[in-house]
Structure 1
């Protein structure tokens, strides 16, 4: 195949798919990892890059005595945690703040980025819990909650 045939074939291919070049450009826009960052990486940075900004993992286990909730929240201080108790649910909220500064003395640029927000998870429980006996601990980026089940009153059935 001569070089003129290749050029004509290439022109024909673009004519058959007029949006192919546009789609390739869009793909590069969303996946480009050059120093300028792609748009998705920029959005992640803008809306928060910490794990708590995107959510946190929780595990729920149950036995006869109650429920155990374990939440992985690395880098979060005890003061940032709020736990709200409902009759058959618990909500764990994390207040997060992030400040980043960039200084480029060669170009005389200074950039400061500040973001804050709240991330929360609500865990629903099958039975009511005894709010007087709840225990919570936070150590090494792990929050543990023990929520004892509320015991109902037994009703004695009488013979008629």
Structure 2
């Protein structure tokens, strides 16, 4: 009896794995674009560090904007080299072209001090925070 239950469980597990594999393959073209801009965001007292995987992009095709506490990063790729054979047959392709974009809410960034680097397919942004100044602190007395 125990072997029969284990056999059924193994069969069920195999069917579930096959279903997951088929869904992954079938819906691969519907994968959210954000999956292709994997990001790490860290924060300390002085600012934010953002690292975004953007392999295959030319630096000139990456656009960065910061407005209203939102960091927007957009990459655009028009085409890529075609790896098809002489008859135009491609067995499998996962590379994408078009536009990819992500937004991140990062408040109180000193826009004038932001630094960006793009090395080996990784965009690294250093976004210092605005420093509170005692000079801007104005006490208002009540009459």
Q: How many residues align?
A: 117
Is the 8 Å Cα contact of residues 66 and 149 (structure 1) preserved in structure 2? yes
**Alignment CA distance shift 1:53-1:89 (3 Å):** closer
Say yes or no: does 1:91 pair with 2:72.
yes
Is contact 2:114–2:126 with CA below 8 Å preserved after alignment?
yes
Does the CA contact (< 8 Å) of 2:34 and 2:102 recur in 1? no
Conserved 8 A contact 1:97-1:117: yes
State the 1:142 CA deviation: 1.2
For residues 54-113 of structure 1, give each alpha carbon's deviation from its aligned partner in whole angstroms, at most 9, with x where no partner exists.
521111111111111111122222112110111311011110233425344xxxx4469x
Which of 93, 106, 124 does residue 105 from structure 2 map onto?
A: 124
Deviation at 1:136, TM superposition (A): 0.7
State the structure with more CA Rg.
1
Which residues of structure 2 form unaligned runs of 5+? 1-17, 91-95
Gaps of 5+ in 1: 1-26, 32-38
What is residue 62 of structure 1 aligned with on the other side? 43
Alignment partner of 2:79: what SS?
Answer: strand
Q: TM-score, normalised by structure 1?
A: 0.56
Secondary structure at 2:113's aligned position in 1? coil
Q: Which has the higher strand share?
A: 1
